[in-house]
Each structure stands twice: as C-alpha cells, then as structure tokens.
Amino acid sequence: DSGVTQTPKHLITATGQRVTLRCSPRSGDLSVYWYQQSLDQGLQFLIQYYNGEERAKGNILERFSAQQFPDLHSELNLSSLELGDSALYFCASSSTGVRNEQFFGPGTRLTVL
C-alpha cells in the first residue's frame, strides 16, 4: 500500500459525459501528479500540482482539467468523453525528502461506452 488513495476504482460511462476522479496523496506530500495509461499512448504524464498550484502540464487535453484543494487532495475532471479516453488514470504523490520518488495510487479504470 503506497498510501495514495484513488476513487472510484472503476468508472463506466457514456460518450459525451463528464466524470471526476479523486486522489488523496500520502500524508505530508505536497505534490500530486496525474498520469494516463492507455494501450495507444502508453503511460503519459498529464498534469502536476504542488501545494495547490499547477506546476507542470503534459499532454493533457483541453477537455480535461484538474485542481488541488487546500487539504491537498486532487481531482481530475474529464468532460465530453470520447471512446479514446478509456484508460487507467493514476495519481501519484511525491515525498518532501530528497529521494525524488513518486508513489502511485491504485488507479481508476475509466471505460467510455
């Protein structure tokens, strides 16, 4: 158990819908990262938040957005869903130490029908 929690574990929805994925980082971790794992694109970085502020952006679609709240939990919002958005979405958090490690949550499996 990495200490990072993600809800829900599975999500099935229809095209055109909007969903919200939730992530709680490890206690004390200020950074949260979102990654998408799909068969087509592999594992790719979407976005990073650090202590409530957006810090880095990857190949995140305009239909996707994220935020980090004062209690440090983060939400990833996916809207106008398409079949190609079906993927496993991971959240990770990083330590305040010097080891530069990211700890991954169990992921949310999104299926768009």
Partner 1 sequence: AQTVTQSQPEMSVQEAETVTLSCTYDTSENNYYLFWYKQPPSRQMILVIRQEAYKQQNATENRFSVNFQKAAKSFSLKISDSQLGDTAMYFCAFMKWVMGSGNTGKLIFGQGTTLQVKP
Strand ranges in the chain using DSSP code E only, listed in sequence order: 5-7, 10-13, 19-24, 31-38, 42-50, 53-57, 64-68, 74-78, 87-94, 102-104, 108-112
If the CB atoms of residues 9 and 14 are measured against partner 1, the closer one turns out to be 9
42 belongs to the binding site for partner 1 (CB under 8 A): yes
For residue 103, the minimal CB distance to partner 1 (Å) is 8
> What phi and psi values does residue 83 have, to the nearest 5 degrees?
-55, -35
Q: Which stretch binds partner 1 (CB under 8 A): 11-19, 61-69, 73-81, 84-92?
A: 84-92
CB 62 to partner 1: min, Å: 19
Is residue 70 part of the contact set for partner 1 (CB under 8 A)? no
